Amino acid sequence: MNEMSARRLTGGAGIAAAVALIVEVPLYFIYSGPPPDANVLTRLLVGIVALAFLLVFVTAFRELVKSVSPKYEWAGSLAFTAGLVYSTITLVSSGLEAGAVIAADHPIDPTIDVSGTYILYGSISRLMLAFFLTALGYVVSRTKLLPRWTSGSAYVLAGVNLAFVPSLFFGNTPAHFYAANGWGTTALMGAILSYWLLALGISTYRSAKAVAPQC
């Protein structure tokens, strides 16, 4: 894969993942009590699609780093691995929620009733995203393959994610900002990631024009 193709694939996958995440997050706030099964399964399906595109994004990003600067391929591989682990953890969490909703004979709120997802969506995901964002920020700052704001914002988001890792000590009430499954730990961080990823995807896709004559 040449550099132009890698930039377009990385950017396109990032945009697609971000759009799906942006659609998914509001679906968590439509109902105040246990949502109907259709709502839960719809938002999980949208999230699964988003994670599929995220896997393409992290894979293409590793190839982009390899094309631009093989010297930093190790850091690109670290970003890929952390992104892969994050996606896998979140897919497992989605599967646990979907299974519980399908099996229940009455509406349930899986953000509360499926206890196995508290730490997966919360502290573990936050830590994996921090690794991913730090590696991405480092690669971009060293290789200059994207505008400077992308690396700086990645470092900031990594720090914010790290700040939520200890949330596992603060209960399991989704209405609380800093709970293990709180709206700050999960929904807010997901929303911030989605809009950041959208901006990053657009920037990466547009950067392909700058290298097109050389490919």
What are 157's two structure tokens? Answer: 């988001």
CA 84 to each of CA 52, 80, 128, 146, 172: distance values in angstroms, whole numbers, following the listed order: 10, 6, 9, 22, 26
Q: What is the pLDDT of residues 162-186, one digit of tens each?
A: 999 999 999 988 889 999 999 999 9
In the DSSP assignment, the letter for residue 31 is -
Per-residue model confidence (pLDDT) at position 57 = 97
As a whole number, the mean pLDDT across the chain is 93
pTM of the model as a whole: 0.92
Is the pLDDT assigned to residue 213 strictly greater than 80? Answer: no
Is the pLDDT assigned to residue 215 strictly greater than 50? Answer: no
Is the pLDDT assigned to residue 214 strictly greater than 70? Answer: no
Sequence-separated (6 or more) residues with CB below 8 Å from residue 213: none
Percentage, residues of the chain above pLDDT 70: 98
The pLDDT of 136-145, averaged and rounded, is 94
Rounded to an integer, what is the distance from CA 211 to the centroid of its chain? 27
Q: What is the pLDDT of residues 46-87, one digit of tens each?
A: 999 999 999 999 999 999 999 999 999 999 999 999 999 999
Please state the φ and ψ torsions of residue 54, each to the nearest 5 degrees: -65, -35
The residue among 200 and 173 whose pLDDT is bigger is 200
Q: Are 165 and 126 in contact (CB under 8 A)?
A: yes
